[in-house]
Amino acid sequence: MNIFNGYAEKPIWNVGDKWEYYFSFNVNMNEEGTNAEIDLSIDNIELVIEEETEDTYNLTVDGDIVGYFSFKATGVPRIRGSLQNTIMNGYLIVDKDFSIKNASLYIDGTLKVSIVPVTIDIDLNVTCNPPITLIDFPLYVGKEWLTNPSIVNIFGVINLPGLKNIPGMPEDVPDKFPIEETIDNEMTEVSCTDFENIIIQSLGKYEAYKIESINKTNYYSPVLGNFIEIVSPPNNYTTVEFYLHSTNYTVPGAPNIPRKPEGINKGKPGTAFEYSTSTIDNENDDIYYLFDWDDGSNSGWLGPYPSGETINKSHTWSKKGSYSVSVKAKDTEDHESRWSEILYVSMPKVKQYNLLQKLFDFLYEHFSIIKQFFSNVQYFLEEFFLQE
């Protein structure tokens, strides 16, 4: 892996590397005389390395946008609408020092207002001069730095042909809205404050550097070669979510993803069960393995083992429940693989049935018989031995 003694070096990307993100943007504003709601989401923003030059990576950006809006102001009827069949595509140019240089987005679809469909056509271009550095590598916990100042130019146009066909819309409303804005991106204090485990539902649990600035927190995973989550603190009106849910990225030189753990998928707590896996290293390096047992423990790094050899490790769960068993690998140069496919294991509740428990069960089940027996004994004694 590209972490050496706690330091993460900048990632090495290759053509075809892909990351898929979920994005949502919600606005809920209630002020005197005005009420506005906007809820947009992109279930799958796909970033793909399309081309590599000597100094840059060129990425394509694609996604399908869904959402709705509602707006109400004093003296104006409430306007509701939704986005339908709306797609986004474009490109992103990133310098190899992990800084954003240029971006372009094109959005095409239908904005349905009440029952009136309006074509929406947005063309945006962004340039950063100089490029904005996202992370100052090498990265390590405790590092602090300042982002570089940059002039961000945003220009483009929003086309809404048919907007004037919406009932109540003024006849002279334009159907084209040019965008031309310059933002002075000032220096910002940034710090790497922690190295945490972040669970990605479809990928597993990955260690990530926590990078904090005044307006957001980013989590960067060296094993996945990119950000896995961006958290913007909610303000009075806006909530933003952005997180990774899929990738094909592999650290260059890392072993292949280990095969799904094999072993029993249902058993009893307190019993040891054995699980096996294997993988290969394309450079024929020896391999270490680490099992995650999903009970707060792991196997620790096991090995090294020869590439391709099947390895076994046993584990005992102490409590009933359902567990997700997965395994990852690294070579002798610390190049780490992604997690394997998950094996789901169930540990049903075990009935503790010892000798004392058996006695209590017997007494409970035969109480009436035992009671009758002692009554008969008492009667016999009273009749033949205890009379005056």
**pLDDT at 79 > cutoff 90:** no
**pLDDT at 2 > cutoff 50:** no
Per-residue pLDDT tens digits for 110-162: 988 878 888 999 999 999 999 999 899 999 999 999 999 999 999 999 998 88
Residue 167, pLDDT score = 73
Per-residue pLDDT tens digits for 320-373: 999 999 999 999 999 999 999 999 999 986 555 455 555 555 554 555 555 555
- How far apart are alpha carbons 295 and 117 in whole angstroms? 52
Percent of the chain past pLDDT 70, that is, above it, reads 87
Q: Report which listed range, 1-5, 159-163, 313-317, is most confident.
A: 313-317
Per-residue pLDDT tens digits for 199-254: 888 888 899 999 999 888 999 999 999 999 998 877 777 888 999 999 999 999 99
- How far apart are alpha carbons 177 and 156 in whole angstroms? 9
Phi-psi label, residue 60: left if phi above 0, alpha if psi -120 to 50, beta otherwise: beta
The better pLDDT of the pair 17, 115 is held by: 17
- Report the length, in residues, of the chain: 388
Percent of the chain past pLDDT 90, that is, above it, reads 65
Common-topology check for domains 3-247 and 272-347: no
Per-residue pLDDT tens digits for 23-76: 998 888 787 777 888 899 998 999 999 999 999 999 999 999 999 888 777 766
Q: The domain 3-247 is classified under which CATH number: 1.10.10, 2.40.50, 1.10.287, 2.40.128? A: 2.40.128
Average per-residue pLDDT in the chain?
87
Residue pair 20/46 in contact (Cβ under 8 Å)? The answer is: yes
- Residue 246 main-chain phi, psi, to 5 deg: -165, 150
Residue pair 228/200 in contact (Cβ under 8 Å)? The answer is: yes
Per-residue pLDDT tens digits for 268-309: 999 999 999 999 999 999 999 999 999 999 999 999 999 999
- Residue 275 main-chain phi, psi, to 5 deg: -130, 145
Residue 350, pLDDT score = 53
pLDDT band at 387 (very low <50, low <70, confident <90, very high): very low
Per-residue pLDDT tens digits for 165-177: 877 777 778 889 9
Residue 28, pLDDT score = 85
Residue 367, pLDDT score = 55
Please name which of 230, 221, 243, 227 lies closest in space to residue 338, comparing C-alpha atoms.
221
- Give strand pairing partners of 296: none
- Domain ranges in the chain? 3-247, 272-347, 355-384
| Domain boundaries 272-347, corresponding CATH code | 2.60.40
pLDDT band at 80 (very low <50, low <70, confident <90, very high): confident
